[in-house]
């Protein structure tokens, strides 16, 4: 008897939101995603002790200042973790640019090129890599340029429609709207009552983006992320991709109830007119979206915090 995870895989590309090799082997996703928070967890696992040591040794051999060696070590560790994951998954790995560069287009482009160069030096072609970048105006512009260079991007920390529209207009490969964090904000800041996933503002947001992209023939992939429960995932069955944590993958695998497709390109329609994104309009729309403004800023701060913790861990002898 099939389970919900198997049924979901028949209609959506399932992506593992983890750096845990054993979990990836167990659930056999198409792709996998990492970020500073997941790399911090991975660095504490015995499985990655040798990769961490090799990254330290390699960075030391590159020379440069202490900060440059630390950045090299973090980048090399991220790439080595990604490379090992790619030995298991048939698709792509998403590797994130340092979140401290979220408001610096040129620095983001430079770091992305560096990460791709490290992958290619390790024998991994760029068609198996997605560079994760925060969906700030500067990050979206970096993604636009990188796509022109043949470097595909995953625009992350996406909470508002203005971000989604600008990303599609920039021609980025994939966006990651964060379902659960949108819900978190509404529960903390409004009187919203959730009776079912149909009421979930994160689910509603992803459906709107999906409908908009399909109705206006954008090729940008929609990958729902940051789920709080399996109900959110089931409500988005049929979305291009969904990146899911190991605990929720396990819950889906243990459930043998039916799972219906909820999204399909053939049924796509959108009340949102297609128009090109200009910087002033983007910033104004984002400013009016209190949830997206708050969660984007918080997400960047949290990723920076975990990046600093990773650097502290790496710096230990």
The CATH number of residue 136's host domain is 3.20.20.70
The closest of 138, 133, 11, 99 to 310, measured between CA atoms, is 99
The closest of 169, 174, 173, 160 to 295, measured between CA atoms, is 160
Tens digits of per-residue pLDDT, 109-119? 999 999 999 99
Looking at the predicted structure, is the pLDDT value of residue 276 above 80?
no
Report how far residue 93's alpha carbon sits from residue 73's, in angstroms, rounded to the nearest whole number.
Answer: 19
φ, ψ at 102 (rounded to 5°)? -60, -20
The pLDDT value recorded for residue 317 is 66
Q: How confident is the model at residue 269 (pLDDT cuts 50, 70, 90)?
A: confident
More confident residue, 277 or 143: 143
Number of domains in the chain: 1
The pLDDT value recorded for residue 315 is 82
Residues of the domain holding 260: 4-315
The pLDDT value recorded for residue 271 is 82
b/e burial code for range 182-216 (CB count within 10 A of at least 16 → b): bbbbbeeeeeeeeeebeebbbbebbbbbbbbbbbb
Report how far residue 290's alpha carbon sits from residue 71's, in angstroms, rounded to the nearest whole number.
Answer: 33
Tens digits of per-residue pLDDT, 204-257? 999 999 999 999 999 999 999 999 999 999 999 999 999 999 999 999 999 999
On whether the CB atoms of residues 127 and 163 are closer than 8 A, the answer is no
Tens digits of per-residue pLDDT, 19-69? 888 999 999 999 999 888 888 888 888 888 888 889 999 988 988 898 899
Q: How far is CA 176 from CA 4, 37, 122, 260, in A?
A: 22, 16, 27, 22
pTM: 0.95
Give 291's contacts (C-beta < 8 A, 6+ positions apart): 159, 160, 182, 185, 186, 189, 201
Instruction: Report, as residue numbers or ranges, the catalytic residues.
Output: 132
Report how far residue 195's alpha carbon sits from residue 160's, in angstroms, rounded to the nearest whole number.
Answer: 23
């Amino acid at each position: 008897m099939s389970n919900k995870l198997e049924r979901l895989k028949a209609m959506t590309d399932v992506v593992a939101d983890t750096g845990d090799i054993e979990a990836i082997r167990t659930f056999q996703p198409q792709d996998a995603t990492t970020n500073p928070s997941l790399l911090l967890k991975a660095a504490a696992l015995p499985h990655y002790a040798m990769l961490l040591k090799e990254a330290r040794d390699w960075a030391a051999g590159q020379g440069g200042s202490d900060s440059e060696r630390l950045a090299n070590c973090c980048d090399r560790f991220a790439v080595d973790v990604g490379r090992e994951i790619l030995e298991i998954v048939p698709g792509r790995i998403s590797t994130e640019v340092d979140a401290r560069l979220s408001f610096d287009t040129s620095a983001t482009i430079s770091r992305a090129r560096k990460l791709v160069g490290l992958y290619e030096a390790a024998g991994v072609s760029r068609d198996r890599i997605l560079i994760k970048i925060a969906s700030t105006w500067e990050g979206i512009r970096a993604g636009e340029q990188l796509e022109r260079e043949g470097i595909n991007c995953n625009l992350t920390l996406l909470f508002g429609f203005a971000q989604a529209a600008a990303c599609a207009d920039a021609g980025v490969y994939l966006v990651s709207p964060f379902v659960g964090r949108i819900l978190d904000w509404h529960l903390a800041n409004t009187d919203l009552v959730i009776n079912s996933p149909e009421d979930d503002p994160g689910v509603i947001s992803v459906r709107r983006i999906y409908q908009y992209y399909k109705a206006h023939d954008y090729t940008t992939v929609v990958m729902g992320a940051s789920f709080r429960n399996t109900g959110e995932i089931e409500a988005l069955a049929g979305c291009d991709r969904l990146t899911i944590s190991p605990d929720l993958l396990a819950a889906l695998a243990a459930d043998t109830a039916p799972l219906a497709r909820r999204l399909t390109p053939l049924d796509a329609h959108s009340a949102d007119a297609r128009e090109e994104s200009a910087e002033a309009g983007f910033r104004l729309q984002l400013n009016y979206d209190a949830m997206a403004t708050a969660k984007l800023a918080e997400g960047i701060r949290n990723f920076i915090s975990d990046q600093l913790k990773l650097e502290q861990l790496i710096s230990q002898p």
